[in-house]
Amino acid sequence: MPADGLYEILDDRFRTERCANGDSRLEVLHAGCRWAEGPLYLPAWRQLIWSDIPNDRILRWDEATGTVGVFRTPAGHSNGNTLDRQGRLVTCEQGNRRVTRTEPDGTVTVLADRYAGKRLNSPNDSVVRSDGTIWFSDPDFGITSDYEGHRAESEIGACNVYRIDPGTGDVHLAADGFEGPNGVILSPDEKRLYVSDSRTARIHVFDIREDGTLSDGKVFAEGRGNVHFDNIRFDDEGRLWAAALDDSVHCYHPDGTLIGRLRVPEPVSNIAFGGPKNNRLFITATTSLYSLVMSVTGAPRL
């Protein structure tokens, strides 16, 4: 893929802020998944893990050798993966309808599987604040069929975003009114929570109050055409990068303007920054894992 085919400049700031000055080609790291999501770079091991949801496994790519192996199977039809502030793996398991944490000894702790006594739908993505608070999205993607989980009726009857209290472990309703809440990410200063809603093609932003509750929120970005946002990530200049499914990867300026796109040959599900300098963008797209060493750097790992 030539450079002019990889980077699409929609606003001159995409050029002047050097967003299009990285690799001229996407590198294919792995192919052969059914539906790849949840990339997470593990700095201590120089490895990337990601979920192959229909195949019910988490795969692992080693940066030093380029080899790929199975990290975990079965994996509860896992989707999003992240790290908490102690370096422990937090995973949204669509099939098991829960959020879990993998302890240093390999045991798995269930962090959330119910709200108000009712089973969660199919947790999708999560983010951990520096004080240990966890927010996670809970659409119904894993219960609408047996492809990415297990077909079932929703006990809650809605698709929401929840908050896990770091002190008590209690699960609180954080935000509702979504049709398909998907990616969740904190602003670099941890003062705002961003949530993508795949079915409405919108990215919402909420202010976080001192007690951890959210403001009413507003729409930060809205897609057009075939855009259905999945997960979202920040770089260290406050630009928001969004996996936009059939429309590849979007880059939004902090003022909400779409300034550029990265064209990917398959529908994009998730993205994650990683590598030793945190400037390598990993992209899961349908059957494949791609990477791109960029001239921008991901938001600092706290």
pLDDT digits (tens, 9 = 90+) for 157-201: 999 999 999 999 999 999 999 999 999 999 999 999 999 999 999
Q: How far apart are CA 231 and CA 54, in angstroms?
A: 18
175, 177, 121: which is closest to 152 by C-alpha?
A: 121
Q: How far apart are CA 88 and CA 81, in angstroms?
A: 10
pLDDT at 301: 73
Which residues lie closer than 8 Å to 26 by C-beta, 6 or more apart?
1, 6, 264, 265, 283, 290, 291, 292
pLDDT at 5: 85
pLDDT at 302: 60
Start-to-end Cα distance in the chain:
34
Q: What is the DSSP string of 85-154?
A: TTS-EEEEETTTTEEEEE-TTS-EEEEESEETTEE-S----EEE-TTS-EEEEE-STTTSSSSSS-----
User: Contact at 8 Å (CB) between 148 and 54?
Assistant: yes
Burial class (CB in 10 A: 0-12, 13-18, 19+), 224: exposed
Summarised one tens digit per residue, pLDDT across range 49-70 is 999 999 999 999 999 999 999 9
pLDDT at 3: 42
pLDDT at 2: 36
pLDDT, mean over the chain? 96
Residues of the chain with pLDDT under 50: 1-3
pLDDT at 4: 54
